[in-house]
Amino acid sequence: KILLASICVGLVAVRWTAPTFDAESLSGARVLVTGASTGIGEQIAYHYARFGARIVITARREKVLQQVAEKCMSLGAQEALYVAADMGNELDPDKVVDFALEKLGGLDYMVLNHIGPSPFSMWNGDVEHVRWLMKVNFFSYIQMAWKSLESLERSKGSLVIVSSLLGKMTSPFVAPYTSTKSALNGFFGSLHHELSMKKSNVSITLCTLGLIDTEAAMEKVREITSVPAYPASEAALNIVTAGAMRQAEVFYPWTTYVVTISKDWFPSLTDYIIQNTYKYNP
Ligand code: NDP
């Protein structure tokens, strides 16, 4: 009985002390979203738009960005600008942050979400591809984070890093991709400590996502896995609200949290399950 009572008290305390999402806080917020031409990034831009934010979006395809920016305006964004950039090009990450700082007069949120395309297949020894993917999925993130830090410090802003369950655990067919996500988790986990120890104003939110139903993800796994895919719009909303509440981590769907714990408790069972979620005939 004492144990049960303690658990109840604990749950009530967590509920009372947990931050709540204030939609108003995003009205007029100055936001930069990367990888916003499609998929989760596009949905993130639309949610910020509905909350009345001022948005800069980026990706490589200018024409698509223009359409997303127009839709953002129709959904309620106070401002929606776009800048085309290739994160595999060393100058572009800085160019994008400079553009956002100049056009918006500073930043309150920077959501780093883009990824370069990578094959879903057995590792074939293509080291050059991993090197390039690291540039796009990792080095551009840390370059942009550094470039925006001063402005985020002034605005008591937030850095939101879109990562993956595959940054916390390994899986077949995605060695290059999972390397970049693990690198992100390591780097921004460390930066989170340092900012906190420096009593910085900047919060970091690390987002751990499971399989999400974007076209890019589904075209790779649709035929070969039974893992359920979750809606991109809901994933995006979780990312936006977690950033606004300055949460250190968010897991979507919540089962990804259970998986990150159970993989350490039951490693062999987890390996067995992972390897058997894919149809594979050698
Ligand atoms: P998509 O492939 O749908 O979108 C990727 C975005 O990045 C696009 O806007 C693309 O636009 C842009 N992009 C691609 N290459 C470059 C480049 N070289 N320079 C700049 N921008 C580029 O990805 P998702 O929406 O599926 O994923 C979004 C995030 O969510 C990623 O960080 C991913 O790791 C994470 N995630 C996704 C999961 C899923 O199942 N979908 C699961 C777990 C995590 P363009 O082609 O115009 O450049």
Cα dist. 222→118, 169, 281 in Å?
16, 21, 16
Nearest residue (CA) to ligand 1, atom 23: 39
| pLDDT for position 16 | 59
- Residues 212-241 have a mean pLDDT of 95
Atom of ligand 1 nearest to the CA of 229: 40
- Residues 22-46 have a mean pLDDT of 98
Residue 228: half-sphere exposure toward Cβ, Cα within 13 Å: 7
Selected residue with higher pLDDT from 227 and 137: 137
Inform me whether the pLDDT recorded for 95 exceeds 70. Answer: yes
pLDDT tens, position by position, 125-143:
999 999 999 999 999 999 9
Any idea which fold 21-276 has?
A: Rossmann fold (3.40.50)
- pLDDT tier at 5, thresholds 50, 70, 90: confident
In the chain, % of residues over pLDDT 70: 94
pLDDT tens, position by position, 251-268:
999 999 999 999 999 999
Backbone angles phi, psi at 206, to 5 degrees: -100, 125
Angle formed at CA 233 by CA 229 and CA 234, multiple of 5 degrees: 70
Q: What is the ipTM of this complex?
A: 0.99
Pocket of ligand 1 (CB under 6 A): 35-41, 59-61, 64, 85-88, 113-116, 136, 162, 164, 209, 211-212, 214, 216-217
Nearest residue (CA) to ligand 1, atom 24: 39
Q: What's the token pair of residue 165?
A: 């369950």
Average pLDDT, the chain: 95
Tokens 């410090």 map to which residue?
Answer: 153
Question: What does the alpha-carbon distance between residue 8 and residue 273 come to, in Å, rounded to a whole number?
Answer: 33
| pLDDT for position 281 | 74
| pLDDT for position 93 | 98
- Residues 87-104 have a mean pLDDT of 98
- Concerning whether 177 is annotated as a catalytic residue, the answer is yes
Inform me whether the pLDDT recorded for 1 exceeds 90. Answer: no
- pLDDT tier at 68, thresholds 50, 70, 90: very high
Q: Could you tell me if 49 and 80 are in contact, meaning their C-beta atoms sit under 8 angstroms apart?
A: yes
Domains of the chain, by residue range, sit at 21-276
- Residues 184-198 have a mean pLDDT of 98
- pLDDT tier at 18, thresholds 50, 70, 90: confident
pLDDT tens, position by position, 151-177:
999 999 999 999 999 999 999 999 999
| pLDDT for position 161 | 98
| pLDDT for position 11 | 61
Question: What does the alpha-carbon distance between residue 189 and residue 231 come to, in Å, rounded to a whole number?
Answer: 26
User: 277: how many CB neighbours lie within 10 A of its CB?
Assistant: 16
